[in-house]
């Protein structure tokens, strides 16, 4: 298949045609190429999400690899890293290979499974990290996300182990003893509402410990969903000392605050919780100055019955793949903190580099795999369930006006979204002709 993306504006502001054939960018198109008119559209490199919950195997009522891949493509993503908290847990070569194969079969995005750090995410003994790394899935990112690897000796061993093949441990930083029963950010609001709080120090103390461990063993550490101003300070300190730490922030922590918990609408219940205005300001600045390296969605689908219940019984998590780019535009582009070229870095090339995913280091250059996201940054939409393509609807943005819209997504030279419409599985899947 060959494509000609005509007249796209690249992140650096230059305007050019993009010729694609056999999955890669080429010098020029032949007459048979399908033309995509990109006049007035911004071309970003295909987005990469380092933190997605696809729920399969085990929680298919919330999401599957297919439905999550469709949600990702609709949001402009061409690759996602699938978190390990499935059932069975992604803690063996067999399970990670299964997830990888499902992604390949559906073809909407590249699915890279994340391996669990500990068996069953139980935090007691290391999972088969080496076997997952050597499997056909070639796992390079390991995480117990949803749980913190809180035993310092296990964390040390995991960091040492992954270093032998260049991998990384992505830590869910939450000291469990400080967050028993926690329902929202700890502070004046949690006192007022009479709900158990989730203190910032529970995140900051684990990050502080882990950067010191990473320094001690010379390992690479990645910090998931950083949510507090204090965490930013710790990471800034660690980077200044040359410690090999990278960090992510979610779109929701860049835009939303704890005040939304007042209405007890559980769409706003998430782990780590929404924080204060001053945390949002610090997170935006940290993304702009490079202290925080990437944006990752933490797309966490849950069925209606897990969300439509009392706040303290509701599951933590929000879907985020289809809204991420718009939320980033609202939070940091339209506010003048980031340029589109920075967005390309924090949502594509750097997450790929952290996860050791090849093909994203020289976007749009001849010979590179053709992953493209065409965006209309001038569009506006009232975000609705029609914008959601996964199985779950627990989005905090329903009814909110969001800027920007994904018009086309091209994964390995093949469209998954065209004219703003997500293509059907038979038009996209690996068993197509």
Ligand X SMILES: NC(=O)N[C@@H](CC(=O)O)C(=O)O
Q: Which residue positions form the known binding site for substrate?
A: 53-55, 85, 271, 302
DSSP string, 329-397: IIIIITTTS--HHHHHIIIIIHHHHHTT-TT-SSTT-TTSB--EEEEEEEEEEE--GGG--SS----TT
Q: How far is the CB of 62 from ligand X (least distance, A)?
A: 8
C-alpha atoms less than 13 angstroms from C-alpha of 174 in its C-beta half-sphere: 21
For residues 204 and 412, which CB has a smaller minimum distance to ligand X in the complex?
Answer: 204
298 is catalytic: yes
How far is the C-alpha of 132 from the C-alpha of 124, rounded, in Å? Answer: 18
Contacts with ligand X, 135-164, as mask; x by CB under 6 A? ----------xx------------------
**56 near ligand X, rule: CB under 6 A:** no
**53 near ligand X, rule: CB under 6 A:** yes
Angle at 82 between CA 344 and CA 137, to 5 degrees: 100
Q: Which of 75, 230, 317, 404 binds ligand X (CB under 6 A)?
A: 317
* φ/ψ of residue 179, rounded to 5: -130, 25
For residues 257 and 349, which CB has a smaller minimum distance to ligand X in the complex?
Answer: 257
Phi-psi region of 418 (alpha: psi -120 to 50; beta: other; left: phi over 0): beta
By CB under 6 A, the residues from 77 to 96 that bind ligand X are 85
For residues 121 and 375, which CB has a smaller minimum distance to ligand X in the complex?
Answer: 121
How far is the C-alpha of 81 from the C-alpha of 256, rounded, in Å? Answer: 24
How far is the C-alpha of 194 from the C-alpha of 366, rounded, in Å? Answer: 59
For residues 326 and 394, which CB has a smaller minimum distance to ligand X in the complex?
Answer: 394
Catalytic residue among 49, 210, 279, 298: 298
For residues 172 and 222, which CB has a smaller minimum distance to ligand X in the complex?
Answer: 172
How far is the C-alpha of 27 from the C-alpha of 385, rounded, in Å? Answer: 40
Q: How far is the CB of 396 from ligand X (least distance, A)?
A: 11
How far is the C-alpha of 405 from the C-alpha of 350, rounded, in Å? Answer: 22
Nearest to 374 by CA among 27, 70, 45, 4: 45
For residues 205 and 316, which CB has a smaller minimum distance to ligand X in the complex?
Answer: 316
User: Residues annotated as binding site?
Assistant: 51, 53-55, 85, 145, 172, 225, 271, 298, 302
Binding residues for ligand X, total number by CB under 6 A:
11
Q: How far is the CB of 225 from ligand X (least distance, A)?
A: 7
Q: How far is the CB of 20 from ligand X (least distance, A)?
A: 35
By CB under 6 A, the residues from 165 to 224 that bind ligand X are 172
How far is the C-alpha of 129 from the C-alpha of 147, rounded, in Å? Answer: 17
Summary count for the chain: helices (H), strands (E): 14, 19
Q: Which of 179, 183, 316, 326 binds ligand X (CB under 6 A)?
A: 316
For residues 20 and 2, is the Cβ–Cβ distance under 8 A?
yes
For residues 180 and 386, which CB has a smaller minimum distance to ligand X in the complex?
Answer: 180
Contacts with ligand X, 349-388, as mask; x by CB under 6 A? ----------------------------------------
Q: How far is the CB of 53 from ligand X (least distance, A)?
A: 5
Q: Which of 300, 332, 388, 428 binds ligand X (CB under 6 A)?
A: 300
How far is the C-alpha of 303 from the C-alpha of 286, rounded, in Å? Answer: 33
By CB under 6 A, the residues from 244 to 283 that bind ligand X are 270-271
**396 near ligand X, rule: CB under 6 A:** no
How far is the C-alpha of 268 from the C-alpha of 183, rounded, in Å? Answer: 11
**298 near ligand X, rule: CB under 6 A:** yes
Q: Could you give the 3-state DSSP secondary structure of residue 187? A: coil
**Cis peptide bond N-terminal to 57, omega within 30:** yes
Q: How far is the CB of 268 from ligand X (least distance, A)?
A: 11
For residues 253 and 414, which CB has a smaller minimum distance to ligand X in the complex?
Answer: 253
Q: How far is the CB of 317 from ligand X (least distance, A)?
A: 3
User: Residues annotated as binding site for Zn(2+)?
Assistant: 51, 53, 145, 172, 225, 298
Length of the chain counted residue by residue: 433
Buried b or exposed e, range 187-197, using 16+ CB within 10 angstroms: eebbeebebeb
Q: How far is the CB of 86 from ligand X (least distance, A)?
A: 10
Residues catalogued as catalytic? 298
Q: Which residues bind ligand X (CB under 6 A)?
A: 53, 85, 145-146, 172, 270-271, 298, 300, 316-317
């Amino acid at each position: 298949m060959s494509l000609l993306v005509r007249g796209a504006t690249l992140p650096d502001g230059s305007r050019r045609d993009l010729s694609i054939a056999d999955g890669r960018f080429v010098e020029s198109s032949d007459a048979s190429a399908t033309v995509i008119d990109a006049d007035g559209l911004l071309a970003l490199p295909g987005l990469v999400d380092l933190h997605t919950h696809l729920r399969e195997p085990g929680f298919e009522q919330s999401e599957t690899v297919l439905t999550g891949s469709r949600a990702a493509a609709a949001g402009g993503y061409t690759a996602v890293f699938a978190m390990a908290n499935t059932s069975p847990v992604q803690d063996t070569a067999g399970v990670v290979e299964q997830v990888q194969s499902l992604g390949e079969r559906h073809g909407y995005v590249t699915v890279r499974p994340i391996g669990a750090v500990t068996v069953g995410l139980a935090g007691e003994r290391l999972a088969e990290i080496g076997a997952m790394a050597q499997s056909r899935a070639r796992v390079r990112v390991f995480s117990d996300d949803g749980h913190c690897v809180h035993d310092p000796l296990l964390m040390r061993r995991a960091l040492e182990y992954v270093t032998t093949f260049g991998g990384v441990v992505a830590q869910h930083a939450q000291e469990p003893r400080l967050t028993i029963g926690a329902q929202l950010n700890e502070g004046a609001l949690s006192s007022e509402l009479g709900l158990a709080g989730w203190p910032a120090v529970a995140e900051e103390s684990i990050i502080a410990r882990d950067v010191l461990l990473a320094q001690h063993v010379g390992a690479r550490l990645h910090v998931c969903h950083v949510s507090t101003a204090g965490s930013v300070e710790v990471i800034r300190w660690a980077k200044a000392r040359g410690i090999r730490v990278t960090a992510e922030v979610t779109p929701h922590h860049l835009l939303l605050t704890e005040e939304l918990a007042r209405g007890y609408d559980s769409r706003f219940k998430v782990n780590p919780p929404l924080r204060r205005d001053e945390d949002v300001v610090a997170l935006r600045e940290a993304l702009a100055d490079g202290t925080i390296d990437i944006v990752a969605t933490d797309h966490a689908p849950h069925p209606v019955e897990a969300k439509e219940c009392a706040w303290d019984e509701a599951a933590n998590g929000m879907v985020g793949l289809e809204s991420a780019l718009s939320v980033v535009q609202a939070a940091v582009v339209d506010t003048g903190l980031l340029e589109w070229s920075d967005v390309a870095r924090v949502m594509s090339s750097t997450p790929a580099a952290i996860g050791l995913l090849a093909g994203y280091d020289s976007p749009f250059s001849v010979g590179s795999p053709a992953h493209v996201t065409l965006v209309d940054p001038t569009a506006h939409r009232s975000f609705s369930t029609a914008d959601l393509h996964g199985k779950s609807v627990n989005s905090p943005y329903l009814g909110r006006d969001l800027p920007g819209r994904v018009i086309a997504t091209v994964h390995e030279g093949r469209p998954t979204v065209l004219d703003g419409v997500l293509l059907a599985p038979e038009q996209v899947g690996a068993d197509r002709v």
